[in-house]
Structure formats: structure tokens, C-alpha cells
Structure 1
Amino acid sequence: MTNKQIGFTILDGGMGRLLERLGAPFRLPEWSALSLIEAPSFVTRAHTAYVESGAEIITTNSYGLVPHMIGEQRFADEGRLLADRAGRLAREVADNAPHNVLVAGSLPPLFESYRPDNFIAEDAPRILSSLVAGLAPHVDVWLIETQSSTLEALTALAVVKDSGLPIFVSYTLKDEHGRTGPPELRSGETVAEAVAVTLDAGANAVLFNCSQPEVMSEAILAARRVIDASSNTSAGLGVYANAFMPEPPSDEPYAGISEIRADLDPDNYLKWVGRWVEQGATIVGGCCGIGPEHISAISASRDSPSKMPDWGSNSPIKMQ
């Protein structure tokens, strides 16, 4: 154990699989949005579970609030209202938490996860405007997440840039078995290129999510080099991996609900977290299949540093 300062922010875990475990309505194509529509009390229960596990940032359940998941007509009629509901539910839980909790407004892939080729730049503002309008009164930070390309991410960033709130951008990475070379977004852009342009565009933090934990370390190292060489050396760097089996290469369509790995129990996931923090991550949490038990293990290890050596540097957010 070294004398490094213990300082990182704990993000929550995945929402969809937790809702399924809780017995909430859950199916494709609506995914986690179905609970928001039909049984919002389950969303409150999920947020509460993460807060009780030690999460310091909880993410609005707005990932599924896009036309290709809830339908064009429902989005047109109810998109802003549902986004408002997602923000309000998270805000209520955060405001009643026993410790300081921030609310991150999730701005998801607008057309399909893992499919940068499906992005329609001219249609994106229409979708983003409803999500941002509904979420804005309730959130403390924007989380533009599971982005497969810089075009996708920076389009969303431009919409919220003047909101006055911190902006986190999180990319998903190529993670199929056997791939070699530098870490890449699913678009084929390198992590180094993506981090540089994202910081230049005004992001306060760059994260990596919804990919296998095995590909995260190289991404962190590449990102840390760019951040340390930039004019924004205090930018946050985060990871929240998923527990899915590897998805198909990014030029193939997302096939459905993925199988969860058996080897990413809390103890094993914690080993990955320890590595990421040592490599310079300042925000850690989990994505699909990573639940409150994993977040609890991360929180306990931070509170008892002897359980994990060499925690990283300061959190990019000052908890009030």
C-alpha cells in the first residue's frame, strides 16, 4: 500500500439488468424504458439500490428513450415527458440520499448502440432536444454515453455545451476476441484521436463503457497520455465496463439481449477496478450486468484502502 491519496468518484451500475432482476417489466425493444413507462417505482428502487451501495453519481433511466426503442409515435408524443420523469425519479433519490449524490443525465446512442454507421446527423438534434429539455431541470452533469464515434458524441456535446453543467462523454470500444492494435472506438477511430477531439470540444471528462473489461486498460493508458499532454490535465477519466459476453464486430447489427459472463462477480470486477484506478481512472462504476453488489464492493474497498493498493488521483467532481 502506498501513500497515494484515495480519490475517485463512484458511478452507479447498469440499469436494465437490475430492473429485470427486480421483477420490472423488461423486454426488447423498449429495454429499460419499459419500466419508466409502465412501472416507474422499479426505477426508484434501482436508483436507491445503487445509492445504498455507495454510488456518488446515479444515471437517469433515459437510455431507452429514443425512437427506435420506444417507437416514433410514442417518442413524438411522450419523449420529453418521459425524459422529465427519468430525471425527476433520479433527482428524488439523490436528494433523499444519506450521502451526497449527483444526477447524471444520460444521453444515449440515438439510433442504435454499437452502430456508428446508423448515425443520422441531420436527425439527431430533433431527438436530443426532447431528451435535454426533459432532463435538464433535474441533472447535475451530462453523461453522453455508449458513443461509437466522435461524430455521434460531439453532436450531443454541442447541444448541451452552453448548459452550464459539466459534460462527460463515454465511448464504447471494439472488444471482440482476438483483436490487436491500439484501442479503438467501434467506428475505428483510435482512442487517442477521440480523446483529443473530445477534450478540444469542451468535455470535462472522457470515459469508456459498455465494453469488455479486458479492453479498458489500454484505453485508459492511451487516454491518460492525451489528457496529461493537453491543456486540461484535470479532465476526468472514467471506466464502467459491462459483463456481457463479447458482442459481434461493430459492422454487424446488435442481435438482442446478451448473455452475462459468469466470471465477473464483485471480487473479480474489483480486481479490474483496482487496475484502472492505478492506471489513472478517476471515475469508476459499471454498465450492463454490473449491479449494486459490484458497486458496494468498490465502495468498501475505497473506504478500506488496505483491500486494494494504489488508488488513483483526485476525483474530477468536488462533492458538495
Structure 2
Amino acid sequence: MQNPLTNLLNQRHYLVNDGAMGTELDRRGVDTNNSLWSALALTSDPDAVQAVHADYFAAGADIATTNTYQATPQGFAQQGIDHQVSSKIITEAVALAQVARDSATRSQERLVAGSVGPYGAFLADGSEYTGKYQLSPVQYHDFHLMRMRALAAAGVDLFAFETQPNNDEVTALVELLGQEFPDLTAWVSFSISDAHHLADGTPLARAAAALNDNPQIEAVGVNCTDMTMIAPALRVLRRATEKPLIVYPNNGDTYNPSSKTWVTNPHAASFTDLVPEWVTAGAAIIGGCCRTSPTDIATIRVAIDELE
């Protein structure tokens, strides 16, 4: 089993993750108004997806997360796309990130993480922020397996189990990782309701501690949450696990999952101010989620380089 994230951290101490995909596609005029969200661009405008990856690498990202958060065979099936074609689309999503990585000008090693969003993302009703759904372990396995097989076959360096609001689903994903992909690793990044709880109410410390002895989980953290929750969540995580900690919050704007709209927050704190605080609280990998841009990732890169 390779440990790509750990190996890179041993070289550099801190890593920079990339930022939002959907936000950047919207800014470029790419239609994401669909239950597939940004995954729609994998068929409508793959060049734009590759360009977003390239811009994040140019901004200083060490890791690209593939545009597969909402790219599931089940979701594609609802759009009339069969499983064979959807697997090919997911494979091509990995290639877009790999080409961007291999074309980047900075000579340092970079990783491509295969994004595995939660079942709640497939529901496209905001459930990734509530975790209010329940499947059996077998049903979770069946839901995630085809996408993970396509990502693995395409050569991702590791999986990103991200925006995970439901601890039973996390348990099932980690079991699936061990059963079907013993040579691959993953990070787990939770969707939280506050600094102490997952969105489904599970204590964050308990969820993190349950992963501490699993060698296939290389990092644990939180994403897609308000910037102000990161520091207190890191303190909870640091007491619960010895794993490297990964955080990639939203940019400070406010999201309404019912209307699926954002409200700009002109008073949001900056990454320049917060990154040193997050590192002090234990963060080893820092990036951005919704509403962040290559400019934000460049800001994080500068802050990390100054710390190093």
C-alpha cells in the first residue's frame, strides 16, 4: 500500500489543497444548474474543467480533487446515461486533473485525489449538510462501488471521502475501501453542524477517533463549512486523532440549501489571517471549498510558504 499524502507531508510539512470547482465553472459561464451540478460539465465542457484544475495548480495547489463529487452512475442514469458511459465519464474526469497536473510549470510532485461525495449529494436536496438519510451498509457499498472502481482504474493517487455528514456512511465507505481497494488510501473530511458534531449529530471526536488506527486513512478533517468553525473543529480533532488534519472551508459567504443560493459576506475573514491560526491548531493540509477561487488558493500558498 502506498501512502502518497503521508510521503508528501514528510517532504513539505504542509500541503495546499485546491478550491471550488462549481464556483469556477459558474464564473466561466458553464451551466451547472442540474442535479449533477459541476459534474454536468464533464460532458458539456470538459476543457473548462481541465482549465480550472490548471488554474489551481498554477496558484500553488499540491492536490487536485477530481470533478466527481456528484458524478455517480446513479446520478448519470437519471439523465439517461448508462453505467458503462458514466464510468467512462468518471475515468475522463481523472484524466482532466492528471493532464493539468502534468502540464503544470512548478516542478514539485502533486497528487490527484478522487472525490467521493456522500449519498446526500446524489439526492441534490442539501442532505450533505444534514445527513438525514439512512441506508444499510450494503446499500452504501453498492452506491459508491462503481464510482470508486472507475476512479481507481483511472489512476487516482488516493480517494477524498469529502463533505461526509453521516457517520454510518463513513463507516461503510471505510469498510469498502479495505475490502475492494486494499492498495489505496483516502482522507475523510466531515460535514459538520458545529465544531463538535457531524451534520447527523455524531460527535466529531468519536467519528475521528474511530479512524485513528486505520492505516488506509491518511488524514481526517472538515470541509464545506464556515471559516469560523475551522479553528475550534481542529482543536476537537487534534485531541481525538493522531492523523494529519485537513481543512478546506467555504469562503465566508452564506449558503441557503433550500433555495440553493449564496449570499455574499463582505465582512468574512481572510485566508491570510486564518491560515496561521489553523496551522497552530494542527492543520497540515489547507484548501478551499465552495465559493473559493484560484486567488484564494494562491493566498493560502503564500501563507503556508511563509510558515515553512
1:110 aligned partner: 119
| Contact 1:192 1:223 survives alignment (8 Å) | yes
**Matched residues in 2 for 1:75 and 1:32: separation?**
19
Larger relative contact order (CA 8 Å, sep ≥ 6): 1
Q: How does 1:80-99 map to 2 (within 5 A)?
A: 80-98=87-105, 99=107
Shift of 1:163: 3.5
- Alpha-carbon shift at residue 236 of structure 1 (Å): 1.2
CA distance in structure 1 between the aligned counterparts of 2:75 and 2:84, rounded to whole angstroms: 14
| Secondary structure of residue in 2 paired with 1:223 | helix
Tell me how far 1:92 sits from its aligned partner. Answer: 1.4
Letter of the aligned partner of 1:169 in structure 2?
V
Normalized per residue, which structure has more strand? 2
Q: Distance in 1 between matches of 2:83 and 2:258?
A: 26
Q: Distance in 1 between matches of 2:209 and 2:300?
A: 29
1:59 and 2:69 aligned = no
Q: Which residue of 1 aligns with 2:250?
A: 242
Q: Tell whether 2:163 aligns with 1:146.
A: yes
1:204 is the counterpart of 2:218: yes
**Partner residue of 2:135?**
120
User: Matches of 1:186 and 1:43 in 2, distance apart?
Assistant: 29
Matched, 1:155 2:172: yes
Aligned match of 1:317:
none
- The equivalent of 1:179 in structure 2 is none
The separation in 2 between residues aligned to 1:262 and 1:69, in whole angstroms, is 32
Letter in 1 for 2:304: R
Q: Does 1:217 align with 2:231?
A: yes
Contact 2:73 2:87 in 1 (8 A): no
The 1:8–1:196 alpha-carbon spacing in structure 2 relative to 1, beyond 3 Å, is same
Aligned counterparts of 2:86 and 2:182: Cα–Cα separation in 1: 20
| One-letter amino acid of the counterpart of residue 199, structure 1 | N
1:274-293 paired onto structure 2 within 5 Å: 274-293=276-295
Give per-residue Cα distances to partners, 1:10-55, cap 9 Å, x unaligned. 0000110011112222213221011112110000000001000000
Question: What is the identity, as a one-letter code, of the residue corresponding to 1:97?
Answer: A
> What is the deviation of 1:217?
1.3
Which SS does the other structure have where 1:104 is aligned? strand
- The one-letter code matched in structure 2 to 1:94 is R
Which residue in the other structure is 2:146 paired with? Answer: 130
How many Å apart are 1:78 and its aligned residue? 2.9
2:86 corresponds in structure 1 to 79
Q: Is the CA contact (8 Å cut-off) linking 1:57 and 1:104 kept in structure 2?
A: yes
- Matched to 1:255, the amino acid is S
Q: 5+ unaligned residues in a row in structure 2: which ranges?
A: 1-10, 122-127
Opposite residue 261 of structure 2, the aligned amino acid is: S
The 5 Å alignment of 1:176-195 reads 183-195=196-208
Partner residue, 1:301: 303
> 2 CA distance for matches of 1:67 and 1:119?
19
Structure 2 Cα separation of the partners of residues 123 and 237 of structure 1: 29
**1:35 is aligned with what amino acid?**
A
Shift of 1:68: 6.7
Write out per-residue CA displacement over residues 68-115 of structure 1, whole angstroms, 9 at most, x where no aligned residue.
Answer: 754434363533122111111111112222232100010101233224
Amino acid at match of 2:223: N
* Residues 41/119 of structure 1: CA separation in 2 closer, same or farther (3 Å cut): farther
Counterpart position of 1:40? 46
Deviations 1:161-212 (A, max 9, x none): 343222100001115xxxxxx6110011111111001224442210100111
Please report how far the alpha carbon of residue 263 of structure 1 lies from its aligned counterpart in structure 2 after TM superposition: 3.4
C-alpha change, 1:28 and 1:82, in structure 2 (3 Å) is same
The two structures have a TM-score, normalised by structure 2, of 0.84
